[in-house]
Amino acid sequence: MTYAAPVNDMVETIRSAAGFEQAVADGIYGDLSLDLVTSVLEEAGRFASERIAPLNRIGDEIGSRWSDGAVTTPPGWKETYRDWTAAGWNALPAPEQWGGQGLPAVVQAACAEMWNASAMSFALAPLLSAGAVEALIAHGSEELKQTYLAKLVAGEWTGTMNLTEPQAGSDLAALRTKAVPNGDGSYRITGQKIFITYGEHDMTDNIVHLVLARLPDAPAGTRGISLFLVPKFIPDANGNPGRRNDVRCASIEHKLGIHGSPTCVMVYGDEGGATGWLIGEENRGLNCMFTMMNAARLAVGLQGVAIADRAWQQALAYAHERRQGRASGAPAGEMSPIIQHPNIQRKLLTMKALAAAARAICYRTAAALDRAHLAADPAERARGAAHASLLTPVAKAWSTDIGVEAASIGVQIHGGMGFIEETGAAQHLRDARIAPIYEGTNGIQAIDLVTRKLPMNGGAVVQAAIAAMRQTATKAANAQADALGDAAARLRDAAESLDRATAFLLQQQAGATPDVALAVAAPYLRLFGIAEGLDALVNIALAAVKAVEAGDANPAHASRIHIARFFAGNIAPEAPALADIVLRGADAVLDARDALVA
């Protein structure tokens, strides 16, 4: 039930899978060193284990409670949040100009994984605040920035995202919340929003809502949506919380998991209208949202990694401790720890390999965002942005899918105890289950990948990713390391499979049958994740092979080589099957449409 941040694996992933050294050579990270990154992560890991992880069960058992419009977070939540912000963790990724520490996305990614692994429902508050910060920096007026940014960056106030309405979930075109100009630069907002994470709580003395709404003369559909900032308390002349705004939390949801995180129904304008201010241009609200979408989706992908790792740590500890049956070679008359049984080993390795691959994909995405934001050369920035765009739906969907998968395996390893709530294994499954749904369902991510991301630059972005996999496979083959098993050949197969599936989908998109791509988007995304994940794990393993050859006896190297080999031989064989489904499976989906609709 405890959590220890895998700092060494994280640093090694940043280095060997996310290309840290190349990025340093390219001048992207200034004078940031891996040593400094390690120190930051070690400190974050201590806070996560010692302060946040103990909140996880109590957050689940007691949950956030609603009463008469107010939300009480679970015991310990408020104090821990206060200390966490005081230690500067909320400000980590923000620019120094606004009080942030200006650390790159790749460092923030590792820290975010820790906050979520220690208590996902606690980590959701800052996750949403970060989105608000990003939107304000990119699109806010100078006045809004001056009023809100420092407080949001410090974590003194939290931020929220108000998109969903009962009739408008994945489809924001159906949005109905209204905004009417007051004539003084402010607007009156009226409407109801649902599924608002931390829409109300008791951890800070103000909450800054970012709300999508329509102006009176706005065109229908998504081109008539604007973004507004609506504070819970309107700041007074000194910037302190002043008059209570006309926004309230009508109720919170009774959910499968993340009980600590209040999921609010927010009502704007019950008494005439909440006062809000426009962010960015009129009717360009969705564009403002897209600005922060990559970061938010990556953050949710990291929740999948986090839960997978937490579930793995718990299952590993249990498998060492629980004795049942006798493993081959064990002394007669003694029960062996179940970790000595090969079928349990397969399950544990599956959890670990999936978590390691998802972590690598997410950190890689973060590194691409860093390149997009920090490279000096505009062409490099564009390359980074394109790469991040391509990887983001995979980071979000693949990682959250494997988060659920790993948590479910974790329950299974616990046997009957896994089904008992006190054990804690079931909580991970319940918590994990939201991540494939929110911040754009994984179905939406797959559609985004095949319809928007593959065609970027005429397919050149995805083709560059596939070329990189082939290069890694060649490097692995040349390494001639027995310990890698058939990882090189499996990676080559996975890259070929992805190439075949990609070429097919690009052709379908260009042709007259876009529905084909939609029908096989999900298996395509899974295939992409497997290929990208294996590529990353092989890169990490190749570094380990080098270290071992150089005489480094750290057992972590052997373990990393093993994980790549296990993934290659026991997960990656799915790749050609998925390509097969992509190429030939769509007809059976589309032809059955009438049978299902009837």
Name the residue nearer to its own copies (CB basis): 370 or 405: 405
Q: Check binding of 507 to its own copies (CB under 8 A).
A: no
Q: Please identify, using beta-carbon distances, which residue of 237 and 512 lies nearer to its own copies.
A: 512
What whole-number distance in Å separates Cα of residue 126 and Cα of residue 346? 36
Least distance to its own copies, CB of residue 549, Å: 18
- Going residue by residue from 338 to 367, which x/- string records binding to its own copies, judged by CB under 8 A? -xxxxxxxxxxx------------------
Amino acid at 163: L
Set 134, 439, 496, 532: catalytic member: 439
Measured CA to CA, the distance from residue 259 to residue 63 in angstroms comes to: 5
Residue numbers 33-62 binding its own copies by CB under 8 A: none
Residues comprising the chain, all counted: 598
334 lies in the site for its own copies, by CB under 8 A: no
Which secondary-structure segment (H or E) carries 181? strand 178-181
Q: Does 290 bind its own copies (CB under 8 A)?
A: no
For its own copies, the closer CB: 259 or 383: 259
Quote the least distance from Cβ 544 to its own copies, whole Å: 12
Of 175, 447, 462, 501, the residue at the interface with its own copies (CB under 8 A) is: 447
171 near its own copies, rule: CB under 8 A: yes
**Would you give the binding string for its own copies spanning residues 569-598, x where CB under 8 A is met?**
xx--xx-xxx-xx--xxxxxxxxxx-xxxx
Q: Is residue 443 a contact point for its own copies (CB under 8 A)?
A: yes
In the complex, minimum distance from the CB of residue 451 to its own copies, in angstroms, rounded to a whole number: 11
CA dihedral defined by 102, 105, 108, 113, rounded to 10 degrees?
A: 170
Span 474-493, contacts to its own copies by CB under 8 A: 485-486
250 sits near its own copies (criterion: CB under 8 A): no
The stretch among 28-36, 42-50, 299-307, 434-442 that binds its own copies (CB under 8 A) is 434-442
Return the axis-axis angle of helices 378-413 and 285-321, rounded to nearest 10°: 40
- For residue 52, the SS3 value is helix
Q: Which residue of 223, 419, 474, 511 would you call a contact of its own copies, by CB under 8 A? A: 419
Active site residue 380: no
Q: What is the closest distance, in whole angstroms, from the C-beta atom of residue 565 to its own copies in the complex?
A: 5
**Residue with smaller CB distance to its own copies, 252 or 369:** 252
Binder of its own copies out of 22, 33, 182, 324 (CB under 8 A): 324
Q: Which is nearer to its own copies, 220 or 376 (CB)?
A: 220
Counting beta carbons within 10 angstroms of the beta carbon of residue 184, is it exposed (0 to 12), middle (13 to 18) or buried (19 or more)? exposed
Does 222 interact with its own copies (rule: CB under 8 A)?
no
Q: What is the DSSP letter of 5?
A: -
Give residue 598's identity as a one-letter amino acid code.
A
Quote the least distance from Cβ 171 to its own copies, whole Å.
4
**If binding is defined by CB under 8 A, does position 139 make contact with its own copies?**
no
Residue 38 structure tokens: 């390690």
How many Å apart are CA 79 and CA 85, to the nearest integer?
Answer: 10
Q: Is 378 in the site for its own copies (CB under 8 A)?
A: no
Q: How big is the CA angle at 455 (ends 449 and 460), to the nearest 5 degrees?
A: 110
Pairing of strands 158-162, 207-213: parallel
Piece of 40-48, 386-394, 408-416, 546-554 that binds its own copies (CB under 8 A): 408-416
Give Cα 318 distance to the centre of its chain.
27
- Say if CB 435 and CB 401 are below 8 A apart: no
Q: Does the CA dihedral 151-157-161-162 come out positive or negative?
A: negative
How many residues line the site for its own copies (CB under 8 A)? 98
Is there binding between residue 192 and its own copies (CB under 8 A)?
no
| Cβ-based neighbours of 384, under 8 Å, separated by 6 or more | 368, 369, 370, 371, 372, 373, 375
242 binds its own copies, rule: CB under 8 A: no
Residue found under tokens 């600005």: 291
User: Interior CA angle at 527 toward 522 and 533, to 5°?
Assistant: 125
DSSP, res 239: S
Residue closer to its own copies, measured from CB, 170 or 474? 170
**Residues 6+ away with beta carbon under 8 Å from 183:** none
Q: How far is the CB of 165 from its own copies (least distance, A)?
A: 11
Judged by CB, which is closer to its own copies: 27, or 573?
Answer: 573
Residues marked active site are found at 439
